[in-house]
Chains A and B, each alone.
Chain A
Amino acid sequence: MFESKSGVLLVGGLGFFLFAFLSNAVVPALLYRDLPEATTTELVAKNAQVMYQFEELSNCYPEQFKKYFGEPTQENCAKALELGRQIYVNEGCWHCHSQFVRPVSREVDRWGPVARTEEYQNVLQRPVMFGTRRVGPDLSREGGRHASDWHAVHFYQPKLVSHGSTMPDYPWLFDGAPDRPNQRGLAIITYVQWLGSWLESYPYYEDYQPLEIERPEAPAEESAATPAEDSAATPAEEAT
């Protein structure tokens, strides 16, 4: 058997591979078979925080938002999340940022609660974005820690807001200026703000209420006002 073709092909090649597949892939799949896999629409519907962020984005960049997403509806938010995730994958974000908090190395102090299986049971984790390298910080609890316009500037040119950052610039997510994110820019910001938004530890915002009043036409003031709020809204920015 050990030197024969059938032995090598069937036992070594096929048999051992299948044994490993059963024990390492089928077992966890069976363990979690009762955990439903949430669709993006379900994720948005159950999550006021991400809707808050999405609407905040529409306030920050009304023209751009209107142009690329129209109204901040749940449906459009789901669309933005899916596109945002695609950009996260395509641009290779996941090669320098992980998405899970371990119970060791004081990561709980730095980032928040340890990762749990339920958090990953949705289509936006298909394929799962655990990641294997952290050049930049873990992002699974990043949502809400910085304001959306901080993210916009940061995506445009990270060094402007994060001294010494080695992250590349992503000017193609903008229509020429950091206060003009394009569809991809708005989508990736939505995605980043979504990360961790399902947790209680998500930074506190007032409960989400759909806007009833039409905003006056003053977009420039709107976006200029937010950075000041930023520091107040993010007390947990890097624990020290």
Chain B
Amino acid sequence: MTEAKPATTERLVDERLVLTYFIAALAYMTISMLAGMLMALQLVHWNPLRGLELLSPGRWRMVHTNAIAYGFLANAFLGALHWAIPRLTLRPVLDRRLSWFIFVAWQVVVLSTAAGIVLGPTLQANSPGLAALPFSLGAQGVEWGETPTWIDPLALAGLLLVAVNFMAPIIKTPGPLYVTLWYFMAAFVWTFLTYAMGNFLPQYSLAGTSAGAVSGLFIHDLVGLFVTPLGWGLMYYFVPILLKKPMWSHGLSLVGFWGLAFFYPLNGIHHFLYTPIPMFLQHGAIISTIAVEMVVTTVIINFFGTIWGSGRAIVTNLPIRWFYTGMIFYAITCAQCALQTTLTFQALIHFSDWVVGHAHLVMFGVFSMWLLGIMTYLFPRIWRTSWYSQNLCEWHYWLSAVGLAVMALDLTLVGVFQGYYWASLQPWEVSVDGSVPFWMVRVFAGLAMFAGQLCFFYNLWATWRLSRGVAATSSPRPSVATRAPAGT
């Protein structure tokens, strides 16, 4: 891998764009967390805003997931890609103006998704003109694809532009390419295809059980073929740079990528086990899920092989700590996955909060952690300063990591309880009453995670003021970075 000198990267990387993407991402994370909090409060009977149509927990639950997937993750990924790809290929993206256009277009997509989900049904119910429309302004009935149908084409066009913009420098680079770029290239193709498949087929061309199979593929591919390859691609880029040594094994990198590429897309139906989808397809999905977990193990081994001998970096280097914590959560997630897709296990835990815990572990524990780590590394680099407060960085990390760990453990546990409540044929209310104490713990775990982000935001603001040469008002004690002073 070639890391160009700062003098040339100035020309390559549009740092303001990276920053802007990150700030947008963090704004959506805030919205997502508040929306999640609303649903969490509803579940423990503490929702102070009951009965307000525009604050309906049902609608905001969809904002919660969509804001984290398309608002936080997509924006943060795009920011990180604008940093990594030009540096890896030593070429700028296709066109800077196009980059900014994509940025604006994507915010339009995300904001209109939120507006559609929250306002759409209300507008349509209260205006005869809108009610006459042949489609719903509100959410679409595809999990993780609730983006209203009228936004889907725009989102798809955006994804196409993203692919074109980033593929231009990659195509010009003489091969063979570094691991990161395999993941990125494949992700551009996959994300586009996945989005098209999941949002259009179950809506327009398939009904019933086969549409269920496609929805399963979509749920799974969105995580597996959009989020996962971009996440791992960035890890293969940032971890060697921060540790100042190459990946432990190139061979294992190959196994990891090709194993994921082959087995991951075959998993989709495991989201709908015991449905009327033909049983042999369910079995196929289960077997390939277990295959994926073996592949994942090789990737984890590769990364832990890389840090072997530099273990202290986990203590001293905060971005590395974020990354490796994410990887540990990833290993846990995948171990869960191999268990929970077996039919025996599935009978008990499906439909329960086990799955919700699993989803938080993946989306926050792994990918958000990685991206927050990348931000922790890049913000001060771009602002050419050090963090205003190393302590606040630590608080950000610990509140996020511990909050998430508590939430995941709590939901996993209550999931098992719920499974047994249901199988025991006790009245439904018993399972709800029994879950409430766990859901209360979840509220506080969520508050801790939110508090972590608030530390981050304050730190960010203060660091920005530092970078502008304005001394922060209270105790300006710019800590010297204890981490490795950024790889070159």
Instruction: Determine whether the beta carbon of B212 is less than 8 Å from that of A120.
Output: yes
Q: Which of B337-364 contact A (CB under 8 A)?
A: 343, 347-348, 350-352, 355-356
Task: Determine the chain B residues whose CB is within 8 A of the CB of A168 once the complex forms.
Answer: 42, 47, 50-51, 56-58
Instruction: Determine whether the beta carbon of B281 is less than 8 Å from that of A162.
Output: no
B190 within 8 A of A: yes
Q: Would you give the 0/1 interface string for A7-19, flagging 1 where the beta carbon is closer than 8 Å to chain B? A: 0110111101101
Q: Of the candidates B43, B212, B257, B356, which one forms a contact with A128 in the assembled complex, judged by CB atoms under 8 Å apart?
A: B212
The residue of chain A having its C-beta at the shortest distance from the C-beta of B54 within the complex is: A172
* Interface size in chain B (residues, C-beta < 8 A): 96
A21 within 8 A of B: yes
Q: Which of A126-175 contact B (CB under 8 A)?
A: 126-137, 157, 162-166, 168-172
Instruction: Determine whether the beta carbon of A13 is less than 8 Å from that of B186.
Output: yes
A11 to B56, CA, bound (A): 45
Task: Determine the chain A residues whose CB is within 8 A of the CB of B212 once the complex forms.
Answer: 120, 128, 130
A117 to B210, CA, bound (A): 9
Instruction: Determine whether the beta carbon of B257 is less than 8 Å from that of A12.
Output: yes
Q: Would you give the 0/1 interface string for B38-72, flagging 1 where the beta carbon is closer than 8 Å to chain A? A: 00001111010011010011110110000000000
A28 to B45, CA, bound (A): 42
Task: Determine the chain B residues whose CB is within 8 A of the CB of A119 once the complex forms.
Answer: 208, 276
Q: Of the candidates B208, B221, B258, B433, which one forms a contact with A122 in the assembled complex, judged by CB atoms under 8 Å apart?
A: B208
Task: Determine the chain A residues whose CB is within 8 A of the CB of B211 once the complex forms.
Answer: 120, 125-128
Task: Determine the chain B residues whose CB is within 8 A of the CB of A107 once the complex forms.
Answer: 422
The residue of chain A having its C-beta at the shortest distance from the C-beta of B273 within the complex is: A102
A195 within 8 A of B: no
Instruction: Determine whether the beta carbon of A25 is less than 8 Å from that of B56.
Output: no
Q: A3-B182, A172-B53 are in contact. Are A31 and B203 (CB under 8 A)?
A: no
Q: Which of A96-130 contact B (CB under 8 A)?
A: 96, 98, 100, 102-107, 109-110, 115-117, 119-123, 125-130
B429 within 8 A of A: yes
Q: Of the candidates B194, B207, B350, which one forms a contact with A120 in the assembled complex, judged by CB atoms under 8 Å apart?
A: B207
Task: Determine the chain B residues whose CB is within 8 A of the CB of A130 once the complex forms.
Answer: 212, 215, 272, 275
Q: A5-B177, A106-B425 are in contact. Are A37 and B121 (CB under 8 A)?
A: no
Instruction: Determine whether the beta carbon of B215 is less than 8 Å from that of A133.
Output: no
Q: Would you give the 0/1 interface string for A31-57, flagging 1 where the beta carbon is closer than 8 Å to chain B? A: 110010100000000000000000000
Task: Determine the chain A residues whose CB is within 8 A of the CB of B315 once the complex forms.
Answer: none
| Chain B: minimal CB distance from A118 (Å) | 8
Instruction: Determine whether the beta carbon of A9 is less than 8 Å from that of B186.
Output: yes
Q: Which residues of A contact B (CB under 8 A)?
A: 2-5, 8-9, 11-14, 16-17, 19-21, 23-25, 27-29, 31-32, 35, 37, 86-87, 89-96, 98, 100, 102-107, 109-110, 115-117, 119-123, 125-137, 157, 162-166, 168-172, 183-184, 238-240
A75 to B139, CA, bound (A): 25
List 17 interface pairs A-B (beta carbons < 8 Å), by A numbering.
A3-B182, A9-B189, A16-B262, A17-B225, A28-B209, A91-B56, A94-B141, A95-B143, A104-B343, A106-B422, A110-B422, A125-B208, A128-B211, A130-B215, A134-B352, A137-B428, A172-B122
Instruction: Determine whether the beta carbon of B214 is less than 8 Å from that of A25.
Output: yes
A86 to B139, CA, bound (A): 9
A5-B185, A125-B207 are known; give 16 further A-B pairs, CB within 8 A.
A2-B258, A3-B175, A4-B177, A16-B261, A19-B265, A86-B121, A90-B138, A94-B141, A103-B274, A105-B423, A109-B425, A117-B209, A132-B271, A166-B42, A166-B436, A172-B125
A4 to B178, CA, bound (A): 10
CB-based A-B contact count at 8 angstroms: 258
A232 to B331, CA, bound (A): 53
A218 to B50, CA, bound (A): 34
Q: Would you give the 0/1 interface string for B95-133, flagging 1 where the beta carbon is closer than 8 Å to chain A? A: 000000000000000000000010011100100000000
A132 to B141, CA, bound (A): 12
Instruction: Determine whether the beta carbon of A91 is less than 8 Å from that of B284.
Output: no
| Chain A: minimal CB distance from B174 (Å) | 10
| Chain A: minimal CB distance from B126 (Å) | 10
Task: Determine the chain A residues whose CB is within 8 A of the CB of B203 once the complex forms.
Answer: 126-127
A122 to B266, CA, bound (A): 26
Task: Determine the chain A residues whose CB is within 8 A of the CB of B43 once the complex forms.
Answer: 135, 166
A233 to B172, CA, bound (A): 72
Task: Determine the chain A residues whose CB is within 8 A of the CB of B186 once the complex forms.
Answer: 8-9, 12-13
Task: Pick the most buried of A2, A115, A132: most chain B CB atoms within 10 A of its CB.
Answer: A132
A103 to B274, CA, bound (A): 7
Task: Determine the chain A residues whose CB is within 8 A of the CB of B50 once the complex forms.
Answer: 168-169
